[in-house]
Structure 1
Amino acid sequence: MHPHGIGAWLAKRRLKSPAKAALVQGEVTITYAQLADGADRVSALLHERGVGKGDTVAYLGENSPEFLLVMFGAARLGAVFVPVNTRLAPPEIAHVLTDCAARVLVHDPEFTDRVAAAVGTAGPAYVLTTGDGTPERPGLARLCGPAPAAPVDVEITLDDPAAIIYTSGTTGKAKGAVLTHGNLTWVALNCIVDYDVVSTDVALMISPLFHVASLGMGALPVILKGATMVLEKGFEPGRALAQIERHGVTMLSGVPTTYQLMAEHPNWAGTDLSTLAKLTCGGSAVPVPVLNAYEERGLSFSQGYGMTETAPGATALPAAMTRRKQGSVGLPHFFTDVRIAGSDGTTVPAGTVGEIEICGPNVFPGYHGLPAETASAFTTDGWFRSGDLGHLDDEGYLYISGRLKDMIISGGENIYPAELERLLGEIDGVTGVAVIGVPDARWGEVPWAVLTVRAGAAVDTDTVRRHLDGKVARYKLPKNVVIVDELPRTASGKVRKGDLRTRFGAEPA
């Protein structure tokens, strides 16, 4: 039998580019042969623990080689990998482990207390730490031993589940999106085609691998192409700049805040960025001041749109179109299609706002254990209903208007927060923006702007309204502007607007 899932990738890489650097972390470099051997050893260990096809293997830890070793080791057995968000509290971790029925949990030692609080009597059969552990409680490295192990022969197809990625839980309990081997393969191919990933690339990984964007559009295309990944446990702007210069980084992915913090760092002007060629950004539109800062260094962004359920890429805006199509998230990925549906479910003309629907081999088959939610997430002809609002222009470029649930209805008029957020990001001194609807006795809802600003910047309600006046209808002008120290965000960098509505929704407009 020949497995066709992602678990076979490292064996192929060991054959094609054994001595090529696959991962760099700190002073350690791991070749593709070493990475493949390590994944084989992890696969053998899991097999000894009774893990087989369809079983779930959870992982709680920061970016590290072990993350990838466990993922590929599990995939080689046909097991389902479940990366756990490291920001979760013990009850949230418990929900993930229980919901996916994890047979094994591997975690970094620093999460031991949190795991102990989360794992009850019905927890995973085996809980292992990364590293050596202790003789009494040996860790992954000690258990796996030094010798490569022969892989277990398991029949795996592209339709088999490879991972369950839990949504960020902005509303209610997190749902597990099941991603197949095919989903992860096709999203990697989309990235290779649309972002021109090549084997000589060096990708700096500063976002957490437990987030589907870093995994599906960062690590996987790099490994599939045989390029090199520089792994960082977390993001620190000065260190990121130093790593770019030290390793000749060619690829970097992040969210707008990531890029802003780097541009504001004292070392920005003096860092050699000459090797950087591919910058991708997701989560929200790149503010104009950030675009300007990078263009002054000869750098442009590829922006995109997607979600966990699309593994996650749906569209990509080429860097060359950043200015001409400013505000757009681009065209559908090469192997993906996008359409806009009206409230009656029919496709609407260009320029008309409706719900974004997505189809393609990267679109997930459904939510783990939630048949009703899965059924409601798809149209009768099989397109995924994103829950996001947007429109296509006459050239097929997608523009996001916001979440259906975030749309503000004020006096019977629809207000799309993304339109205002794009414009507010242009104001000098504004570093973060969220527009929310707040209850109003007269209008039903009115828009408020919640901002973070640079120290010393003079931004208030009058500043905001003057900037928007003449650019949008007056009913769209925020009725109040609130300056906060920090916007609440998910691990992927998206603003948690539900938290803001809870905080400000009861206050008078």
Structure 2
Amino acid sequence: MNELGVGGWLARRRLRSPDKPALIFDGGRWTYREMADRVDRVAGLLAARGIGRGDRVAYLGENSPEFLAVLFGIVQRGAVFVPVNTRLAPPEIAHVLRDSAARLLVHDPEFDGVLASVLSEDDMPEVIRTGEEPTALSALVSGAAPLPAAERMLPEDPAAIIYTSGTTGRPKGAMLTHQNLTFVSLNCIVDYDVVSSDIALLISPLFHVASLGMGALPVLLKGGTIVLEKGFDPARALALIEKHRVTMLSGVPTTYQMLADHPAWAETDLSSLQKLTCGGSAVPTRILNAYEERGLSFSQGYGMTETSPGGTSLPPEMSRAKQGSVGLPQFFLDVRVADESGQELPPGELGEVQLRGPNVFAGYLNLPDATTAAFTDDGWFRSGDLGYVDKDGYLFIADRLKDMIISGGENIYPAEVENLPGVTGVAVIGVPDDRWGEVPWAILTLSAGTTTDTEAVRAHLDGRLARYKLPKNVVVVDELPRTASGKVRKADLRARFAG
């Protein structure tokens, strides 16, 4: 089924809408013809470097046209794209590169020092730097012979490996297939009414599966236009919405709060906006009010890396009637709430949220036991989240079995942060925060005669973990609440410190 190969998308767009703007970035414009021609040269460069079917190619860099050209060039060759979160600490970056067995790494120059600090010559894959030097990516691509023929791919062939934080404290590589990326894009097109006239402002990093799978890919598949930003600045984002008549915007609650709180909010012409999508956590009522006053409402949703990442979506017209819900299953996806034996529960009863469909991932790279544990015997992906559906089929998330913290749209697993020496007990919990949704706090017990504080804990973890994972506060207690089996009762801690 070659039609499911993501590597052929831009070539087909070149036939259908060659002169349509595909990408706007930093004042420059690229048509679909120009983007597809660039991708052909990237594929040619990769072929000249010996990169072919099944090889892993990593990308460590900020949003740019090169990011998308390299992505499509990789999958056009039948190779596998490995985006690396630029916010990871150096040891985490090294783990991603080693675990994925990347043969080639494309990276921005500012990461030279990071890579040299954690990788030896034996560990380092072949490297191409971005930038303007004669040996950098842009010059190499311009001089490469185009290779327009895409590899024929099967739906189950891997297209990307995207690393998600693991409960064991090490990032796990979620293997996303060509079918996964195709159907998550189709789900977005159906559920969010993406059309070819849409102009989407992408302000979130493309190394995040949400920005890639539910932002860039469906817009490019449909033939819309992406206004791509290297990072998020609320003043600049508001100006771009007005300048380019942006119709689509995606973000997390913090993103929308910062836009609404900016002094330019009231004067900015937002009349072009039609589709606002929000994930990560529920949109606070104050933000709903601020946008509704401007005639805007949200499509909220729920998902995860393992679902590429689409799961459910709440139609904007139901944002009040079903406030607190994450919505209905996306079009080509089934969602159920089940008990411990795998039996589907009736409306209103609390159980594990489980998902099944063509956008659910193929498994974790190099982790067969974790892959097996992630699925039920009858093939449903186990989200690890507790929820229930109401009588109308709308899903509500009640709690997280895995205790994951979502801070500003970033996932933080307590197990990553809880590896602290010199403490007799530790539990990391999420505490509500007006700006970030929630932030991590570390609750500790210490042996007699020892002391510590927030700065000492943060200093120990700094450099080992991404900075957004560092606890914002450290509280020392006499005793951690535990179950009869000795497991920390984090619900009790959340009730005490986060309630």
Counterpart CA distance in 2 for 1:506 and 1:312 is 38
Pick from 350, 355, 366: which aligns with 1:353? 350
Q: 2:388 is matched with which residue?
A: 391
User: What CA deviation, in whole Å up to 9, does each residue of 1:455-506 have, x standing for no partner?
Assistant: xxxxxxxxxxxxxxxxxxxxxxxxxxxxxxxxx9xxxx9x96xx65993474
Contact preservation (8 Å) 2:279, 2:302: yes
1:299 matched to 2:270: no
- Quick check: 1:72 aligned with 2:72? yes
The residue aligned with 2:232 is: 235
Q: What SS class does the counterpart of residue 503 from structure 1 fall into?
A: strand
Alpha-carbon offset, residue 275 of structure 1: 0.1
Q: Percent identity, please.
A: 62
Name the aligned partner's letter for residue 256 of structure 1. Answer: P
Distance 1:133 1:334, change over 3 A: same
Query: Offset of 1:154 from its aligned partner?
Result: 2.6
**Using the alignment, how far apart are the partners of 2:226 and 2:353 within structure 1?**
33
SS at match of 2:185: helix
Partner of 2:285: 288
The 3 A distance-change label for structure 1 pair 288 and 170 is farther
Equivalents in 1 of 2:119, 2:144: separation in Å?
32
3-state secondary structure, aligned to 1:329: coil
Deviation at 1:365, TM superposition (A): 1.1
* Residue identity matched to 2:400: R
Q: Aligned residue for 2:209?
A: 212
Contact persistence 1:38–1:148 (CA under 8 A): no
Q: Does 1:164 align with 2:177?
A: no
| Letter aligned with residue 121 of structure 2 | T
Correspondence 1:272 to 2:269: yes
- Out of 403, 408, 429, the residue aligned to residue 406 of structure 1 is 403
Which of residues 437, 456, 474 in structure 2 aligns to 1:503? Answer: 474
Question: What is the match of residue 96 of structure 1?
Answer: 96
Match of 2:82 in 1: 82
Residues 120-164 of structure 1: CA distance to partner in whole angstroms, max 9, x if unpaired? 233344100113324xxx011111225761335532111100000
Amino acid at match of 1:22: A
Cα distance per residue 1:23-42 (max 9 Å; x no partner): 00111001111110111101
Maintained 8 Å contact 1:101/1:124: no
Alignment of 1:317 with 2:332, yes or no, is no
Greater shift after overlay, 47-56 or 117-126? Answer: 117-126
Q: What is the match of residue 33 of structure 1?
A: 33
- Pairwise CA distance, 1:371: 0.4
- Aligned-partner residue type, residue 223 of structure 1: L
The answer to whether the 8 A contact 2:162-2:173 is kept is: yes
Residue aligned with 2:326, SS:
strand
* 1:108 equivalenced with 2:108 (yes/no): yes
1:330-479 to 2 correspondences below 5 Å? 330-406=327-403, 450-453=431-434
Could you tell me whether the CA contact under 8 Å between 2:78 and 2:150 is conserved in 1? no
2:297 is the alignment partner of 1:326: no
Q: Distance in 2 between matches of 1:403 and 1:370?
A: 22
Paired position in structure 1 for 2:58: 58
Q: Given the alignment, which residue of 243, 246, 254 partners 2:243?
A: 246
State the distance in 1 between where 2:3 and 2:46 align: 17
**Could you say if the C-alpha distance between residues 353 and 447 of structure 1 is closer, same or farther in structure 2, counting changes exceeding 3 Å?**
farther
Q: What CA distance in whole angstroms lies between the structure 1 residues aligned with 2:150 and 2:192?
A: 34
2:186 aligned residue (178, 189, 193): 189
What is the match of residue 481 of structure 1? Answer: none
Q: Quote the residue 1:471 is aligned against.
A: none
One-letter amino acid of the counterpart of residue 230, structure 1: V
CA distance 1:90–1:245, shift in 2 (3 Å)? same
The offset of 1:342, in angstroms, is 1.0
Gap change, CA 1:500 and 1:387, over 3 Å in 2: farther
Given the superposition, is the C-alpha separation of residues 500 and 354 from structure 1 closer, same or farther in structure 2, using an over 3 Å criterion?
farther
Q: Structure 1 CA distance, aligned partners of 2:434 and 2:362?
A: 41
Look up the SS of the partner of 1:385 in the other structure.
Answer: strand
Secondary structure of 1:343 counterpart: coil
Code of the residue aligned with 2:82 in structure 1: it is V
TM-score (norm 1): 0.81
Distance in structure 1 (CA, Å) of the matches to 2:433 and 2:38: 45
The answer on whether the counterparts of 1:44 and 1:152 sit within 8 Å (CA) in structure 2 is no
Deviation at 1:11, TM superposition (A): 0.3
Number of matched pairs: 439
More RCO (CA 8 Å, sep 6+): 2
- Distance between the aligned counterparts of 1:145 and 1:378, measured in 2? 45
Root-mean-square deviation over aligned CA pairs: 3.0
**Residues 12 and 507 of structure 1: is their aligned pair in 2 closer, same or farther, counting only changes over 3 Å?**
farther
1:255 paired to 2:236 = no
Describe the shift of the 1:169–1:176 C-alpha distance in structure 2 as closer, same or farther (beyond 3 A): same
CA distance in 2, matches of 1:370, 1:501: 32
> Larger deviation: 3-12 or 196-205?
3-12
Give me the whole-angstrom Cα distance separating, in 1, the residues matched to 2:429 and 2:185.
39
State the alpha-carbon separation in 2 of the partners of residues 184 and 395 from structure 1. 29
| Alpha-carbon offset, residue 108 of structure 1 | 1.0
Q: Is the 8 A contact 2:299 2:315 kept in 1?
A: yes
Task: Report if aligned partners of 1:22, 1:35 keep a CA contact under 8 Å in 2.
Answer: yes
2:45 aligns with 45
Unaligned runs of 5+ in 1: 408-416, 422-433, 437-444, 455-487
Change (3 A) 1:153 1:324: closer
Whole-angstrom CA distance in 2 between matches of 1:55 and 1:34? 26
Q: For the Cα contact (< 8 Å) 1:255–1:281, is it kept in 2?
A: yes
Contact 2:7 2:151 (C-alpha < 8 Å) held by counterparts: no
Q: Alpha carbons of 1:239 and 1:344: their partners in 2 closer, same or farther (altered >3 Å)?
A: same
Equivalent-residue separation in structure 1 for 2:331 and 2:324 (angstroms): 21
TM-score w.r.t. the length of structure 2 is 0.83
Deviations 1:191-219 (A, max 9, x none): 00000000000000000000000000000
Measure, in 1, the Cα distance between the counterparts of 2:430 and 2:111: 37
Q: Is the 8 A contact 1:222 1:229 kept in 2?
A: yes
Instruction: Give secondary structure in 1 for the equivalent of 2:474.
Output: helix
Does structure 1 conserve the Cα–Cα contact (< 8 Å) formed by 2:44 and 2:145?
no
Shift of residue 346, structure 1, vs aligned partner? 1.3
1:104, distance to aligned residue in structure 2 (A): 0.3
